[in-house]
Amino acid sequence: MNVQVSSKGSTFSRIVAGCMNWGEWGVNLTVNEAKELIDNCLDIGVTTFDHADIYGHYTTEKLFGKAIKGNHALREKIQLISKCGIKLVTPNRPDNNITSYDTSKGYIVKSVEESLKKLQTDYLDLLLIHRPSPLMNPNEIAEAFTKLKSKGKVLYFGVSNFTRTQFEMLNTFVPLTTNQIEISPLHLNPFLDGTLDQCITKNIRPMAYSTLAKGSFFASTPGDRVVRINEVANQLARKYNTTLDKILISWLIKHPSGIIPVIGSTKISRIQSAVDALKIRITDEEWFMIWEASMGKSVP
């Protein structure tokens, strides 16, 4: 099942595969394993892959690129997202003295060109500014986006981790198609701070990362909040004859903004779980049971 992120944006799979853990920052897949995971994702309808220049200390895009190298038919079947703007301190970037942000026109264009080379592709379907910089100049970002679009190097643009006002500012200069943000039963801010309301108002779909709170729901020694949430979610899992992870994803999917989950697991069975979760329809009361468990109190 595919969805448009906005009336002007690309079409993506309803579930997105996050690639942050594919390389050095995670399970260190071999090129063949990455190829196999990509094929398996396609088999279950997950055709969109989420990258960032920095993943694996600037190496994971390269791994993915080797896995799709020369396969033009495959490139046409998938959608590639990448991000830029964070400058990490790493031996791979010896000139970076502290972690900082750069959203200048020159930096954005150069970063995309490097991502394209590493991913072995001519274009990105979507480019996100990874984090809002206090120094960002929306004019410059708009110029970079316009240049990249006119050269066919990026089809659409968005942001990540932007507040409502930061989104509004940049969107005034250049049309944005999504805001990729952290959302899970352990991270409720977007429900309360207007971020999701803004997506509805703008008719764009949010993308959600860390939807399973980086695996916290499956920790061997979970904190009190997770214990409360899991108690309720497991109760629902029994009712729907399903599993905890699927209930937690179905909880996100229920939101009217049409959240697109970006799944961090590198195990196809767990990515499949997210796809399966699309079919589960918990009731409003059940949604509030998880909300209440997370907040530790009932809504007023």
Ligand X SMILES: NC(=O)c1ccc[n+]([C@@H]2O[C@H](COP(=O)([O-])OP(=O)(O)OC[C@H]3O[C@@H](n4cnc5c(N)ncnc54)[C@H](OP(=O)(O)O)[C@@H]3O)[C@@H](O)[C@H]2O)c1
Which positions lie near ligand X, rule CB under 6 A?
A: 18-21, 50, 130, 160-161, 180, 209-215, 218, 245, 262-267, 270
Q: Which residues are CB-contacts of 26 (< 8 A; sequence separation ≥ 6)?
A: 20, 56, 266
**Quick one: 237 or 289, whose CB is closer to ligand X?**
237
Helices (H), the chain: 31-43, 55-58, 60-68, 72-77, 105-119, 138-150, 164-173, 189-192, 195-202, 224-239, 244-253, 268-277, 284-295
Q: Which residues are CB-contacts of 239 (< 8 A; sequence separation ≥ 6)?
A: none
* Shortest distance (Å) from residue 104 CB to ligand X: 20
* Shortest distance (Å) from residue 243 CB to ligand X: 7
* Shortest distance (Å) from residue 298 CB to ligand X: 26
**Quick one: 118 or 298, whose CB is closer to ligand X?**
118
User: CA dist 290 to 127, 142, 251, Å?
Assistant: 33, 40, 8
* Shortest distance (Å) from residue 207 CB to ligand X: 8
Alpha-carbon gap, residue 252 to 229, rounded angstroms: 14
Closest C-alpha among 298, 171, 192, 163 to residue 255 = 192
* Shortest distance (Å) from residue 181 CB to ligand X: 7
Catalytic residue, chosen from 55, 58, 101, 156, is: 55
**Quick one: 245 or 286, whose CB is closer to ligand X?**
245
Alpha-carbon gap, residue 225 to 263, rounded angstroms: 22
* Shortest distance (Å) from residue 76 CB to ligand X: 22
Alpha-carbon gap, residue 296 to 283, rounded angstroms: 20
**Quick one: 115 or 266, whose CB is closer to ligand X?**
266
Closest C-alpha among 52, 59, 1 to residue 28 = 59
**Quick one: 23 or 175, whose CB is closer to ligand X?**
23
Could you confirm whether 58 is annotated as catalytic? no
Q: What are phi and psi of 125, to 5 degrees?
A: -75, -30
**Quick one: 18 or 175, whose CB is closer to ligand X?**
18
Return the active site residues. 55
